Amino acid sequence: MISLDFLNNDYEDNRPEAQKIAESIAIDILTGKLKPGQRIAEHTLCDKYAMSRTPIREILNQIASIGLIKLIPNRGAFVIGITERDVDDFFYIRSLLYPQCVKWAVERITDEEYSALEETFSFMEFYTATEDLEKMQKINRGFESIIYNASHNTDLERTLLRYDFIIRYANKDIRYPLNYLPTVLEEHRSIFNAFKERNPEAGAEAAQIHAYRSMLRRK
C-alpha cells in the first residue's frame, strides 16, 4: 500500500532505531565528521547507542553495503569516505538510470500509485507557492520514491534510493538559486504530465532533462 507518511513532520522520527543509527553514521561519513581511514570501534558505538554488538555489527554491514566503510576481519570497520569525483559519478550514473526508471514507472504504475503521485505533485505546487524549501525537498524525495516504487524493479529502486541518500548529504552545502523552487516544480510537472498522458518516452525525456539540470546545479 502506498503511503504519504513522508509528508508528516515526525516521519523520520518514526523509523526503526537501527535505520536511524545506520543513517546517522553514514551521514557523519558523508559530511566529513568521520574521516577516511578512521577506525569505527564497535564498543564505542555500543556505548553511544546503548546496543549490543550483534545489532551494531548488522548496522555496520548495512553501511559497508553502500561502500562507505570497509570491514576488515580481526581489525574492524574503517571509513572509506567519498570524494568529489565519487559524487560527480553518482550524479552521472543516476542520470542514466533515472530516465529508464521513469519510463518503466509510466508503463507499470498502478492506479493507487498514480493517485499518490498526483496528490504529492499537488503538494509540490502548494509548497512551491509558499517558498518552503525544506518542505519541498522532503516532498521531492517522496515524489521520486513513488516513481521508483512504481517502476516495479526492486534493484533499480534500491540503487536510486542509495544514490539519492549519498548525493543528498555529500552535497548538503549547495547554494540554491532564487528561482530554484519554481524551476524544479516545472521539471517535475513535465515528468508528472508524462504519467498523466501515459507517455513513457516523454517521461524518460523529462527525467533526463531534470537529472542533467540537477548535475548542473551542483557546479
Question: Same fold for the domain at 12-79 and the one at 84-218?
Answer: no
- Nine-digit cell string for 86: 565519487
Q: Answer positive or negative: Cα dihedral of 165, 166, 171, 172.
A: positive
Query: Quick one: CA dihedral 45, 47, 49, 54, positive or negative?
Result: positive
Instruction: Report CA dihedral (121, 125, 127, 132) to the nearest 10 degrees.
Output: 110
Q: What confidence tens digit (pLDDT) does each residue in 56-66 have? A: 999 999 999 88
Give the fold, CATH level 3, of 84-218: Four Helix Bundle (Hemerythrin (Met), subunit A) (1.20.120)
CATH topology classification for 12-79: Arc Repressor Mutant, subunit A (1.10.10)
Kindly state the DSSP code that residue 15 receives in the 8-state scheme: S
- Do residues 63 and 165 lie in contact, with contact meaning Cβ atoms separated by under 8 Å? no
Every domain of the chain and the residues it spans: 12-79, 84-218
Read off the pTM: 0.86
Give residue 28's pLDDT band: very low, low, confident or very high (50, 70, 90): very high
- Give the pLDDT score at 19: 87
**Residue-wise pLDDT tens digits, 121-179:** 999 999 999 988 888 888 999 999 999 999 999 999 999 999 999 998 887 767 777 78
Distance of CA 79 to the CA centre of its chain: 21
Q: Considering Cα of 68, then 72, then 77, then 79, what sign does the dihedral take?
A: negative
